[in-house]
Structure 1
Amino acid sequence: MLSEASQAESLFERTASPREKKRVQRIEEIIDTAARIFVRDGHAQFSARRVAGEMGISLSNLQHYCGTTENLLLSMIRAKIEIFVTQFVAIAEDRSLSPEERLLKVIGEDLEAARDPWIASFSFQSWALAEHDEAIGAHVKIIYETFCRVIAKLILEVNPQLTIARSEVFSVLIASQIEGLLFYNKQTGLLERHWQETLDTTLAMWLMMIRAG
């Protein structure tokens, strides 16, 4: 069964005009180029002008599609980070799986994403940017708060005996440990040799904690 996002994308493919499709494709190209520059050069060196230059288009042309540099950054973060949370929400709502299966699937997929060096670099730059840009910081906060709410809700389904406060504490601990693994694996690569064992151990440890309360 298609997710709501997949259904919307399928509908767009069937109903959008060639001009609309071309515009969406152009925006995706801009976002991909922006993300590559963001990771390669760092948030401090990022600018819409640099993105336009790398694409061989004028700044005004780029702004026609994405607006200001801050709008471009927000679109980029939505496309590269927020998309994961959207996927996790869809998994959390999949009633064909048990609460425990949904929880493990969400955490497992987030851990797999954390394993990707490019995603790790993009996350680091986003965090650094969020420290200096209020609007970006507010949006990044919403993304991570949404993820924690998804995890907390699933934790309560796995163990209904827990209090809401306890489930929220567990969700933040899990989210922060995943980010810690992201950082440690990116900087050292030591976990890569034992990734499956790391994954299995981490999931078993968290599940034991949740069941015990």
Structure 2
Amino acid sequence: MDEIPKLITDLLMPGREGGYAKGYETRELILRTALDILLEEGYRAMSMRRIAAACGMRLGNLTYHYPTREDLVRELLNAVISSYEVEFGTIIHAPGVPPEERLARVCGLLIEDVGTKKTTRLFPELWALANHDGFVYERVHELYDRARAPLVEIVAEMRPDLPEKAQFELALFISASIEGLTVFAGYRQPFADRLTAVERIAVRSFIDIVRSFDPAA
């Protein structure tokens, strides 16, 4: 399998418990293997037996760490979104940086991430699954709620005069607009070579929209 590109979507594992370094390393191996199978072969191929075989372990050893596939998927998605949250936190709390610049940095980071193999393959797979699988639906929307929170925070700082509903809707619009680029300008998509140009247009547009938005208009 190709090496998974690492940008902000690399996994951020939960902290180690006490001195169980080997258990921590095993769980990391399981999650990275599961993600690799998900990206290369799809969710249907990501069975517990398939993951165990790819890890070179017995199924019983795998289920010791993750009793069900739902447990594994829950921690996998948590590890993915946690890596975003760390990067967002660094940007949002950057001292002395105006909110407009922080919004530009967050949006730029997200748009650049759209161009990675990992993001282009992972999220459309999750979107499709969410239409038919209630568990995946809940996990995906939990993930997006957490990812959207930094945008809501910056928009609120830029436009404290707006009601919370309008602040949220602006953040939702920005998030949805960036996600929509995946099928057009993501990894190996038709306009992948235009992603940098689109990023410049999008970031400027998002800042202007937040500055000028009037919910009463």
Q: The TM-score by the shorter chain falls in which range?
A: 0.7 to 0.9
Letter in 1 for 2:153: K
Deviation for aligned residue 1:145: 1.7
Letter in 1 for 2:36: R
- Please list, as runs of the form range in 1=range in 2, the aligned pairs for 1:32-181 lying within 5 A after superposition: 32-181=32-181
* Higher alpha-carbon deviation: 86-95 or 110-119: 86-95
Q: Note the residue ranges of structure 2 that are not aligned, 5 or more in a row.
A: 1-11
Deviation for aligned residue 1:86: 4.2
Cα 1:96–1:135 change in 2 (3 A) is: farther
- Alignment of 1:212 with 2:217, yes or no, is no
| Secondary structure of 1:97's aligned partner | coil
Tell me the distance in 1 between the aligned counterparts of 2:62 and 2:27: 9
Which protein has greater RCO, CA pairs closer than 8 Å, 6+ apart? 2
Deviation for aligned residue 1:130: 2.6
Tell me the distance in 2 between the aligned counterparts of 1:83 and 1:130: 22
- Confirm or deny: 8 A CA contact 1:130 1:136 kept in the other structure: yes
Tell me the TM-score normalised to structure 1 length. Answer: 0.84
The sequence identity of aligned pairs, in percent, is: 23
Deviation for aligned residue 1:188: 6.1
Q: Considering fraction of residues, name the structure with more helix.
A: 1
- Alignment of 1:186 with 2:186, yes or no, is yes
Q: Note the residue ranges of structure 1 that are not aligned, 5 or more in a row.
A: 1-5
* Higher alpha-carbon deviation: 21-30 or 160-169: 160-169
Tell me the distance in 2 between the aligned counterparts of 1:113 and 1:72: 24
- Confirm or deny: 8 A CA contact 2:131 2:137 kept in the other structure: yes
Tell me the distance in 2 between the aligned counterparts of 1:105 and 1:85: 14
Tell me the distance in 2 between the aligned counterparts of 1:123 and 1:108: 18
Tell me the TM-score normalised to structure 2 length. Answer: 0.82
* Higher alpha-carbon deviation: 84-93 or 123-132: 84-93
| Secondary structure of 2:57's aligned partner | coil
Over residues 3-60 of structure 1, what are the superposed CA-to-partner deviations in whole Å (9 max), with x where a residue is unaligned? xxx9x96xx6xx953xx12211111111111011112221123211110112221100
Letter in 1 for 2:53: G
Tell me the distance in 1 between the aligned counterparts of 2:117 and 2:170: 26
Deviation for aligned residue 1:106: 1.3
Tell me the distance in 2 between the aligned counterparts of 1:188 and 1:55: 28
Cα 1:133–1:210 change in 2 (3 A) is: same
